[in-house]
Amino acid sequence: MNLHLLLADDDIDDCDFFREAIDEIGELTLSVLNDGVELMNFLLAEPINHPNLIFLDLNMPKKSGMECMVEIKAINELKNIPIIIYSTSLDRTVVNQLYDMGAHHYIQKPGEFANIKKVVEKAISLFTDANLQLRSKDKFIIQP
């Protein structure tokens, strides 16, 4: 199954590491956007080419990940796209809020490439196993 993943993240180094992990995993298509406005424009302009899974950074310029998530969940054509938060911080209050808002999982960006690949593979396997629809607060945070 060739999945179309979308990464919305303004940190170029993080995007490069994520792209390298995807290249090593194989058989995946990746679109990378660098701010929330680009993300929303892409999603609204590409109704036929929606991603299967969105990895969403919270702290982006122009429009935050949280603002994007609110918009995505409010649009019928987009609201069922699974969203995995991919952020540097791990503030439990924010994590709980994102769960309540409908995010499927939360990944704190790992510092090592091997761990980036591990968490991305875990997220993809959860999606391909159709478990993303079975959201569980105790399994919300994906760790290497």
Report whether pLDDT(135) > 60.
yes
List the Cα angle 95/11/21 in 5-degree steps.
Answer: 85
The reported pTM is 0.91
DSSP classification of residue 131: -
pLDDT, tens only, 49-84: 789 899 999 988 889 999 999 999 999 999 989 999
For residue 101, the domain's CATH number is 3.40.50.2300
Report whether pLDDT(134) > 70.
no
pLDDT at 125: 83
Tokens of 133: 């629809």
Count of domains forming the chain: 1
Output the average pLDDT for the chain: 87
Strand ranges of the sheet holding 28-33, from the earlier edge strand across to the other edge:
28-33, 3-8, 53-56, 83-87, 105-108, 141-142
Question: Could you list the residue range(s) of the whole structural domain that residue 89 is in?
Answer: 3-142
Report whether pLDDT(124) > 70.
yes
